[in-house]
Amino acid sequence: MEVAQDIVKIVFTGKNFKDLLDDLIKEIEVRNYLITRIYNIDNIHKRYSQGIAPDIDFQHYKIVEFCNLESCSGLISSNLLAGVFMPVRFVVFQSFEQEEINIVFLKPTSFARLFNSDKMMNFAKSLEQDMNYVLEEIVL
């Protein structure tokens, strides 16, 4: 796996973090995916302000997990070990004193290659295409 090749990173400027996160969630849901969990890693600021967390260099950090039950079932049916990378996720973060907001994801085709399965690769390609479409819609 090569980070530069297997991880997609899009940088947004001129948007409020909360608005961008809301747009991302709406676009995911429009494509018939279910948001399974949003990890609020940035709540560490509360602990940091109380002096019980290590130094951090981000202002916002969210991990948005999502899944389409039909696709998920198909992937798992192609290989029961496929659940190790489900659900898929977008990471959304913003550093301190930066206008730029980053949205990052691991290409589903990257982990599908590990299984050497045409069926799994087909599901992964479809999922990856949807993830790219979600980001394209946010840009517009």
Where in the sequence is the domain holding 99, given as residue range(s)? 3-139
Please give the angle made by the CA atoms of 116, 6 and 82, to the nearest 5 degrees. 40
Q: State yes or no: pLDDT of 98 exceeds 70.
A: yes
Strands 101-106 and 88-95 come out as: antiparallel
- 19-44 average pLDDT score: 92
Model confidence pLDDT, tens digit, residues 32-57: 999 999 999 877 666 566 665 566 67
- 15-24 average pLDDT score: 95
The number of domains in the chain is 1
Q: Is the pTM of this model over 0.85?
A: yes
Pairwise CA distance, residues 112 & 64, whole Å: 20
Rg (CA), the chain: 16
Give yes or no for a contact between 45 and 57, defined as CB atoms under 8 angstroms apart. Answer: no
- 48-69 average pLDDT score: 78
pLDDT attached to residue 139: 73
- Dihedrals φ, ψ of 85, to 5°? -115, 20
- Identify the CATH number of the domain in which residue 130 sits: 3.30.310.70
